[in-house]
Structure 1
């Protein structure tokens, strides 16, 4: 299925700025400086050096950085490694390098130093921009790589020339060099006007194996800039909170797009997020399912601490608003199954019955709740980087926050599909962006499947990479001669073009009976339990499934009665799933320690690393299947 864009898509994009004339991202900033001038673009209140930059100041800094990089010998075709976390200096370095004609190889400073050293070597970087001298000292840079590095720039702190493999500059010193070059009339030469030139190499943070370099061109990234407007319609001055790793393709493309719309961006951290939501009161928030789950969990905890009468009131109002949302979607034919007219009319009647109470809650209860959760201004948000559980989706729908889910991969810049405000089919990953084609093929034979049939998802479009960096065999494994990219995801297409994802091909659990089970949808159902904080379904080559459970409250892991009760609760939730199968039941559960970034069991976008979790908790898995 090739998606050229619906009429509503074209209308939405017609209201956005036309960036069709750009051949490189670096051309964006002079236009924005002229358009928005002294309007605030970026702020980083929690950075080591707190900063605020207007659009004009941002453009000036980018030009200074570019002139300095050019003076250090950086030009077209070069790659410079950039290892740092969120902040205005990251963006200035990123765009300064692109303005100088170079590309960057990026990763967060919290990544294992072995990965950073590997990326530095694999990318062939001629320079290094790093967050701090402390991180630089940890890098085990090989002799060969040291001889290749022309310079090191520290984004924070003073330089430590003795630790650097070559000339070392602080960020302030780099900008001073750039300002001096501009004063002498020697800006960075204009980059080639070629959208196919390399913009960046993003290294996958995947759940298994060594990271692979994903080279993205300016055309790949500009496609996102031009088409994300089908999902959200920001206005100049709208406020955005940035919490995801800026080097990740999802956050990065969203940031380019939001700044192109004239928004004001605040960089925050997971620790400071709640406070910044109240202080900034964002209009937009881009995040991953885990954050929305955490916000819902916070509401559940607050509800449990309220007086019984208040609990009953809010519980009943929420149940009614949830039911109103379900009926409304059914009436509008926005469910995952086709609805006939009698069913839609019946749902419309039920929605009308529930509307008066929903309207009361929407007027008096939900504004206060939105204020407490996200500051009060947020009405539209985008979730990506993983599947969003239906109970989470339904909660935010009920309280008046439109969650628009997007889907894609690092290799696709990243967005392939997204839900629209006017066609928010909850449970789906949305419709493709314009110019994007999707195919569903049989996982074994590769045969093209019909609408509604589940198989492996293939994608083709202007946002898809040309191949992995320096890895032709890995590229050939995922890209065919016609440019179709194998996402590794399983799903099916609906008649309106919406994609419904059902799991990852490599995550499929094969029971000893030969039955194939997709754990993702089961895990989404299980985390709806108020007893469960995190869960991982296991069972490869076993007779039945099991689950590793992180409970919401501390519990004795060897309490047999508790484990049996929790197993019954999990199986009740699994049995209640639409289309539930008898083999989607648990033989038992085991309680385990949390999966976190610090212990390496979550990726930077908070996805669970299945291989590492099963390795850590191998004994717990054995306990599930041990005779009792």
Structure 2
């Protein structure tokens, strides 16, 4: 267990391998607040581009020197408007260089920003503005302001800053400035340096409100600086390395990642879901931070290309992939990095080494004929990609290892700033969420008694370290429920620890489905197994207090259409958006389709490690509407909002088990 002793250096107890890996281009050891980073970075990295938005009109490129100057100008402008140390300012905007400048400008001025997407619902945004006690607003644009304006008169808002260059409305009782006006104000006002202590509050990040009102997570400068100072033990970027940014920039996962990567002199390129595949090829990133859904999307795109090949070529591709999967699994055993063979003997390792050697020529052939071309779709220069914000399905992990793109899975929560664990390049135990990062303790306890459990036993995951939040803002009761007297944070996740201190997650305690026979079912691993089917795009298990589990499935209509054509059938959906050239008409309710999905579910569930009869999926329904952010069925980090899906499809689920 990696821990910090009171009074010791943050990095004093890390491993020799981690110590050798840490970049020391800039010494942030004595930095106590986030604003101290950017003048140091500007001095070291100067003319390197820090922030690049190719999709803005016009295109935006900001060097490290310019970034530090703009942050200070923004901060000086806020001080000229009366911002004092400790003032709350709601920052309601989305990914752009201006978001980063506003975020660090607010904090440099001594303020605390309460952050959220401009796309969030009106009532949620108004709740955050009111609950945080904000006295000013920084918003994406006039559209965002108009969404809130009617109710702002009831709140103590002194002024509003637009991050756009739109002209502020005339005849307004509220003072409104656009981005350029604020910078101009700051250019003519001397910045008063605010002394910020490490334990001062830096930001409020409101949870998505999956249950009740959103809670304001209080993160201090020391919470966030812990990430800046220790993530170099996970990845080792070089100045000028390209980073593609796609996650919500206000979210703790993307935000801490940006703070760290920019502290190391990287160039951050902003992308979006519509442009990401093109941007991967155009900008050839070295690093990328994303959630499992992105890697699944890339995987699905590659599988689609495979399915479009002639039958003979398809057989060759899948034969090579099968050989390569056997190769990487044998190689993991030989290296002591197989989650399914943690206690393998020296003879077992030798046998695995022999198998890997025998399979290597086929894997090398796959690399020459297939994998290198697939890797080009990611730009071909990725050092590592970081995955977090949800469980990474094993088949996705396997696929990217086969094609030579290394995924480092991490773990954490908004309340932990967020990273607590991460896989390392030299200890990449697939299927795990990695070892603790420096200063972090992980403990597995019995969910009922809270007594510690031995390594290998599954239980509730507790976390402790410098990155754990100060608490929930103005909510001591909720804080006391998740942080005990000894500083242990209750993650709400279930998992176990390997003999090498890797954390393996098995599900959310509150997501557990309890059947009428008393069996507890963790939905995530079963869902991940089902996603291996080319016909299943999304899936959510249901079945609380039922005799068996069921599933809501969003089918992959494109793959399903190809299957129907092969059966000489025409597939018709509710909106008739799919047709084929000939044959008998079938629908999603047709017996042929239902039988296909029954076979897919049975095969994938039964083939997964640790299968039990209670894992079998019973009734299921195919639904056409995907789970998405837009329809409220997914969070901003692309996790299914289970309780919302349950409410939306309450009658359908009830009918499944009738």
In which range does the TM-score fall when normalised by the shorter chain?
A: over 0.9
Does 2:109 align with 1:124?
no
Partner-residue secondary structure (3-state), 2:612: coil
Q: Give the direction of change, closer, same or farther, for the CA distance of 1:141–1:23 in structure 2 (3 Å limit).
A: farther
Give, in angstroms, the shift of residue 342 of structure 1: 2.2
Q: Which runs of 5+ in 1 are unaligned?
A: none
Give 1:467's match in structure 2, choosing from 457, 471, 477.
Answer: 471
Cross-structure match for 1:25 = 34
Cross-structure match for 1:95 = 104
Residues 430-458 of structure 1: CA deviation (Å, up to 9, x unaligned): 00011101110101111111111110000
Give, in angstroms, the shift of residue 365 of structure 1: 3.1
The separation in 2 between residues aligned to 1:441 and 1:65, in whole angstroms, is 47
Q: Give the direction of change, closer, same or farther, for the CA distance of 1:422–1:277 in structure 2 (3 Å limit).
A: same
The separation in 2 between residues aligned to 1:459 and 1:212, in whole angstroms, is 19
Cross-structure match for 1:46 = 55
Cross-structure match for 1:571 = 602
Give 2:337's match in structure 1, choosing from 319, 334, 348.
Answer: 334
Give 1:86's match in structure 2, choosing from 95, 104, 107.
Answer: 95
Cross-structure match for 2:263 = 260
Cross-structure match for 1:353 = 358
Residues 126-157 of structure 1: CA deviation (Å, up to 9, x unaligned): 110000111111116646753x1111000013
CA contact (8 A) 1:136 1:164 kept: no
Residues 79-112 of structure 1: CA deviation (Å, up to 9, x unaligned): 1100001000001011111111111000011111
The separation in 2 between residues aligned to 1:102 and 1:52, in whole angstroms, is 26
Residues 343-391 of structure 1: CA deviation (Å, up to 9, x unaligned): 22111111111112222333453222111x2111123100010000000
The separation in 1 between residues aligned to 2:632 and 2:410, in whole angstroms, is 25
Does 2:226 align with 1:194?
no
The separation in 2 between residues aligned to 1:77 and 1:154, in whole angstroms, is 21
Cross-structure match for 2:375 = 370
The separation in 2 between residues aligned to 1:226 and 1:494, in whole angstroms, is 26
1:122-271 → structure 2 map (5 Å cutoff): 122-139=131-148, 142=151, 145-146=154-155, 148-162=156-170, 166-181=174-189, 186-187=190-191, 189-205=192-208, 207-271=210-274
Question: If the length of structure 2 is used for normalisation, what is the TM-score?
Answer: 0.92
Partner-residue secondary structure (3-state), 2:235: coil
The farther-off stretch of 35-44 and 122-131 is 35-44
Residues 450-505 of structure 1: CA deviation (Å, up to 9, x unaligned): 11111000000000002101101100110001110000000011111100000000
Partner-residue secondary structure (3-state), 1:286: strand
The separation in 2 between residues aligned to 1:47 and 1:205, in whole angstroms, is 28
The separation in 2 between residues aligned to 1:165 and 1:595, in whole angstroms, is 42
Give, in angstroms, the shift of residue 619 of structure 1: 2.7
Does 2:617 align with 1:613?
no
CA contact (8 A) 1:203 1:213 kept: yes
CA contact (8 A) 1:567 1:588 kept: no
Give, in angstroms, the shift of residue 15 of structure 1: 5.0
Cross-structure match for 1:594 = 626
Cross-structure match for 2:445 = 441
The separation in 1 between residues aligned to 2:185 and 2:429, in whole angstroms, is 52
The separation in 1 between residues aligned to 2:592 and 2:649, in whole angstroms, is 21
The separation in 2 between residues aligned to 1:5 and 1:496, in whole angstroms, is 14
1:418-457 → structure 2 map (5 Å cutoff): 418-457=422-461
Q: Give the direction of change, closer, same or farther, for the CA distance of 1:357–1:478 in structure 2 (3 Å limit).
A: same
The separation in 1 between residues aligned to 2:167 and 2:161, in whole angstroms, is 8
The separation in 2 between residues aligned to 1:469 and 1:399, in whole angstroms, is 45
Give 1:521's match in structure 2, choosing from 521, 525, 530.
Answer: 525
RMSD: 1.6
1:254-403 → structure 2 map (5 Å cutoff): 254-336=257-339, 337-371=342-376, 373-403=377-407
